[in-house]
Structure 1
Amino acid sequence: MTLDYARELLGVGYARISLDTEEAALLAAALEECRRFFSLPDETKSRYSSADRNFGYRPLGVEYSITADRPDLNDCFTLWSDRLDLVPNSAELAPLTGALLRWRDHLSALVSDVVGQVAEIVGNAKAPRFEAASYLQVNSYTRASGDRDLLQDRHEDGHLVTVIHTTAPGLEIWPGEECLPVETAPDELILMPGSVFADLTGGRVGALDHQVRNLGLERRMSLMYFVNPELTEPLYPWVRAADEPPADLRDKIRSHPAGFGLPDVPVL
């Protein structure tokens, strides 16, 4: 099945992934814990925010898609690798972090298989290790003012891939020239390639631009796994011209979050 998803990435520019009953239950359990967390008062959620806003809770107004004067209209919670110690007071969040990590373990295996298939197809290569540099992020949106047509402006994530599930409409993607609204069923995910994937494949797979439209919904969540290659050793494109010298991609990967108002990708 992962070979089918790899071929879909190469042919369509993104992949729709179906979950079995057990996998869908893991996702549902994680989403339920996320709903409980975001129902807490803002001052309570702030107890779980790191000083640099990179770990744990991140309030609305920090992260943006294009410019700081148009922040993403959501707050969020992030969990990097297995590093619960980076989230202040994380012992109080055991039900949430436990459900997220169980979901993450499934996604790690899925990403490894799909990216590995693509690497073999396009460059007879292997997928890079990514677990220690990747993170889960859940975005929580509430009803936004009608003067913003988009909750997030058009962008690409700058990662290797993003695996996303959304609980309500609003996500729009550009697999080609035209914008395509997409939704995910309770047992469905979308795998979106980022600019790192484009660099590794020599442009055979482009980074998928996307945005989130303001539909005036009372509540919406998206649960994402942002996958970054680990930065402990050089990373070269799988595909390049014979006379083209290899270019280490790590500096580009490390600094990309600055374009969204966030710290560099950490080495964990």
Structure 2
Amino acid sequence: MTQIKTCSDSIARSGFGTLQIPDSMLQDYRKIVDGYSAISPATKASFSFGQDTDGFFPFGAEYSGSEDHPDLCERLCYWPVHVSKRIGFEFTRSDFFAAVDTFERQISELAQELMDGICGEFGVPPLAPFRLASYVQLCVYGVQTANIERRFAQDPHEDGHMLSFIKPTREGLVLVKGGSLESVRLLENEVAVLAGSLLTELSDYAIPAAYHAVLAPQRPVSRSSLIYFANPNPEQVLTSFFRKQPIDLNSAVNARHTGFGNQPIQLP
């Protein structure tokens, strides 16, 4: 059984799985998480596009539960659909940006293959390519999070996407199962894959969304997490897995996106 098949089966049953990534992706991942600290505040300020949820965003700009309880991280968001609008910025010619671009291309292919496998588990046709509706997000939790009196650096929530691919630099990611927390432990070359609320709806609630959170550290320590959020192609007419009814997820995509404090998604 291939790892795609194994992960597809796990997500279909529980909403959670893991995948191994090739060394080339792991190298780009390291360039991204290790290189972020060298990016100047001026670059971050100039390369920030709130209307597109693209570029850099300061500490506490997004939230998982309520607006007055923000996530304790700063972010970089990268949407391939907006790259053509950024070519005039010097930052797009940096090695860091190149690593983000390359990582996104590879993870998007992996995400499409996995989604095809999940569709196969339910005997439904594969989805249309969704790369241009999806994006990469780097969350950087600074050492200051240990000085904030909170249990979670990111409150318990389910992601408002089809799938989330998460690769953290250290422990902290937990699955919330009732009143218990289950730590997600990954090998060096593994990523966690979590079903989001959109996949739950598309599957007629057969696939549970993975409720999860990030624990606040008990001591001053930095932590980063590189994530890929897979959204459905807005031009595809989707049909639910079991009821075989047309389902419009476009409004749900934006409702989930803005529910985390972001601006509505505007694709070309």
Common topology (TM > 0.5): yes
> Deviations for 1:150-175, whole angstroms, at most 9, x for unmatched residues?
11000111101001100011000136
Alignment-derived partner of residue 168 in structure 1: 170
| SS of structure 2 residue aligned to 1:179 | strand
Give the CA deviation at 1:61: 2.3
Rounded to whole Å, the distance in 2 between the matches of 1:185 and 1:168 is 11
Alignment-derived partner of residue 106 in structure 1: 106
- Please say if residues 237 and 246 of structure 2, whose CA atoms lie closer than 8 Å, have aligned partners that are also in contact: no
| SS of structure 2 residue aligned to 1:26 | helix
Residues 1:233 and 1:185: Cα distance change in structure 2 (over 3 Å): same
Rounded to whole Å, the distance in 2 between the matches of 1:49 and 1:125 is 38
- Please say if residues 167 and 184 of structure 1, whose CA atoms lie closer than 8 Å, have aligned partners that are also in contact: no
Alignment-derived partner of residue 68 in structure 2: 69
Alignment-derived partner of residue 48 in structure 1: 47
Q: Which amino acid aligns with 2:103?
A: W
Equivalent in 178, 182, 201 of residue 199 of structure 1? 201
- Please say if residues 52 and 265 of structure 2, whose CA atoms lie closer than 8 Å, have aligned partners that are also in contact: no
- Please say if residues 38 and 45 of structure 1, whose CA atoms lie closer than 8 Å, have aligned partners that are also in contact: no
Residues 1:59 and 1:86: Cα distance change in structure 2 (over 3 Å): farther
Q: How does 1:87-102 map to 2 (within 5 A)?
A: 87=86, 90-94=89-93, 95-102=95-102
Rounded to whole Å, the distance in 1 between the matches of 2:158 and 2:168 is 17
Residues 1:60 and 1:5: Cα distance change in structure 2 (over 3 Å): same
Identity score, percent: 24
Select between 42-51 and 142-151 the one with higher mean Cα deviation. Answer: 42-51
Rounded to whole Å, the distance in 2 between the matches of 1:48 and 1:212 is 27
Residues 1:180 and 1:146: Cα distance change in structure 2 (over 3 Å): same
| Structure 2 stretches lacking a partner, 5+ long | none
| Structure 1 stretches lacking a partner, 5+ long | none
Alignment-derived partner of residue 231 in structure 1: 234
**RMSD of aligned Cα (Å):** 2.1
Rounded to whole Å, the distance in 2 between the matches of 1:72 and 1:89 is 31
* 1:221 is aligned to 2:220: no
Give the CA deviation at 1:183: 2.8
* 1:12 is aligned to 2:14: yes
Runs (4+) off by over 4 Å: 86-89
Give the CA deviation at 1:146: 3.9
Select between 83-92 and 168-177 the one with higher mean Cα deviation. Answer: 83-92
| SS of structure 1 residue aligned to 2:67 | coil
Alignment-derived partner of residue 128 in structure 1: 128
Rounded to whole Å, the distance in 2 between the matches of 1:41 and 1:70 is 27
Residues 1:41 and 1:148: Cα distance change in structure 2 (over 3 Å): farther
Rounded to whole Å, the distance in 2 between the matches of 1:89 and 1:148 is 41
Q: Which amino acid aligns with 2:140?
A: S
Rounded to whole Å, the distance in 2 between the matches of 1:5 and 1:79 is 25
Select between 36-45 and 46-55 the one with higher mean Cα deviation. Answer: 36-45
Select between 107-116 and 63-72 the one with higher mean Cα deviation. Answer: 107-116
Give the CA deviation at 1:82: 4.6
Alignment-derived partner of residue 155 in structure 2: 153
Residues 1:112 and 1:234: Cα distance change in structure 2 (over 3 Å): same
- Please say if residues 28 and 102 of structure 2, whose CA atoms lie closer than 8 Å, have aligned partners that are also in contact: no
Using the size of structure 2 for normalisation, the TM-score is 0.89
Equivalent in 243, 247, 261 of residue 240 of structure 1? 243
Q: How many residues align?
A: 262
